Amino acid sequence: MNQGSEKVHPAGALRASLVFNYNIPTLGVGFMFFIVTLYLMKFATDELLISPIVMGVIFGVSRIWDAVTDPITGYLSDRTNFSLGRRRPWLLASIIPISLTFYMIWNPPALGQAGVVIWMAVAVILFYTAMTMFSVPHSSLGAELSDNYHDRTRIFGVRHMIWNSGSLVALVAMHLLITGNDPRELAFYISIVASGVTALLILWLVATVRERSEFQGRGEVNPLVAFGDVWRNRHARLLLVVFLVENLGGATIGILVPYIAEYIVGRPEKMAVYILCYLVPSVLSVPLWLPISRRIGKKRLWIISMVVTALGFGGMFFVDENGDTLISVLAVICGLGAGSGAVVAPSIQADVIDYDEYLSGQRKEGAYFATWNFVHKSATGLTLMLTGFVLGLSGFVPNVEQTDGARLALLTLFAIFPLVCYLAAAVVFTRFGLNEKEYQDIRRELEHRRNHPNRQ
């Protein structure tokens, strides 16, 4: 273990510095994910003149491929046995691929139209693969930092705040790209700075956060058994369904904001304002959700968040060229709903992993987060492909006034589709049964096993 790095407190009461050091790389990673998800499609269609159908296919294939690499990364991360631990070697190895592929995305060379398409396809696929090397081990490490039921909500609440702080910085960069005279040159400088800062922040985590030695070497040897255990875990199985349905609807939201601002509201210069109306309450409300989750429970808070998010985006269907105020108000509502869900969802995931240890005696955070990410990214990939095809078939043409058919397609994908999916996910999640009392019983049994290993 690193000299001078901070120890983990499994029973809770984590030091604020440890929570911060663990989460600080998500400032850079959040920046990258946000700007790629929210603006790359429009940058490619409007600046590089790539068809939205082609970009939809590239995004879809990249996320589906990324979903395939998640289980591999999760399993190997669980089985990694280095002096740095199980997770930090992966974080260290992700630095160069993340930085290089993010630069590639925003700086395609002059290769002709076919060459640029191939370049973008390779760059996007490799970018999401590199991010898998970071995101699965990082989420797994977060679940390992504490066994405390509510302290985990704090860990992932801070993660949500720092991640979305990176998104706020990305919003500034995106505004510069939209309003600047030379977006290609600006993209070059932004990619250089973002790659360097993200690399330094990941190095900081690796140098300052220790891993729990008692988890070392406790992953399942057989990968089929490892992922079979995830499916046999009734709580994890239900979460798989919830994530699938929720992310089918949620994937269209980010990618279509620039299109809604320009082609529906007619105020592309206000896009940054709309996103701020979403991100700021999502970040600032995190301290509010922590005590509320203690009072009403994680499950109830997540259900409420999905319903609020569904209704907020459903209301977007009524946005038109005079809808500047309406879209701003609805964005605040959606930000509050999504923020509370983002705080409690990964905390619930960590609790479900402890239930697996209760059943199997192993620690398989990598396998679990990889499986959930597989579902998340598969749903995202399918929805992005659907979005590209719907835009192309509806008669969408960049940089001109859209037909009624194209406008209807944009509003349906942006509002009605998420409304249905979020409500369906909330209904499914009402069947989730792992509450705080059951979790505390599980923790007591696990502590008994650790203190009396020969009596199991």
Q: What is the pLDDT of residues 405-419, one digit of tens each?
A: 888 988 999 999 999
CA 336, chain centre distance (Å): 17
What's the pLDDT at 324?
A: 86
Two tokens at 399?
């940089």
**With left for phi above 0 and alpha for psi between -120 and 50, is residue 50 left, alpha or beta?**
beta
Q: Is position 230 within any domain?
A: yes
Q: Is position 187 within any domain?
A: yes
- Rounded distance between C-alpha atoms, residue 52 and residue 60, angstroms: 12
Tell me, what DSSP letter sits at residue 6?
Answer: B
Q: Is position 2 within any domain?
A: no
End-to-end CA distance of the chain: 30
- Rounded distance between C-alpha atoms, residue 252 and residue 383, angstroms: 7
What's the alpha-carbon Rg for the chain, to the nearest Å? 22
What's the pLDDT at 175?
A: 81
Residues 120-171 pLDDT 10s: 899 999 999 999 999 999 999 988 888 888 888 889 999 999 998 998 899 8
Query: With b meaning 16 or more CB within 10 Å and e meaning fewer, what string describes 429-442?
Result: beebebeeeebeeb
Q: Is position 77 within any domain?
A: yes
Portion of the chain with pLDDT greater than 90, in percent: 40
- Rounded distance between C-alpha atoms, residue 395 and residue 409, angstroms: 9
Residue pair 136/124 in contact (Cβ under 8 Å)? The answer is: no
Q: State whether residue 401 is helix, strand or coil.
A: coil
Domain count, the chain: 1
Q: How far is CA 116 from each of CA 43, 113, 120, 427, rounded to the nearest angstrom? A: 13, 5, 6, 44
What's the pLDDT at 260?
A: 87
What's the pLDDT at 456?
A: 52
Query: What residues make up the domain containing 389?
Result: 16-455
Two tokens at 6?
């901070």
What's the pLDDT at 2?
A: 44
Give which of 120, 136, 138, 135 is closest to 61, Cα–Cα: 120
Q: Is position 7 within any domain?
A: no
Q: Is position 11 within any domain?
A: no
What residues have CB less than 8 Å from 181, skipping those under 6 apart?
Answer: none
- The CATH number of the domain holding residue 290 is 1.20.1250.20
Q: How far is CA 80 from each of CA 71, 130, 309, rounded to the nearest angstrom? A: 14, 18, 38
- Rounded distance between C-alpha atoms, residue 374 and residue 381, angstroms: 10
Q: Which residues of the chain have pLDDT under 70?
A: 1-13, 217, 254, 454-456
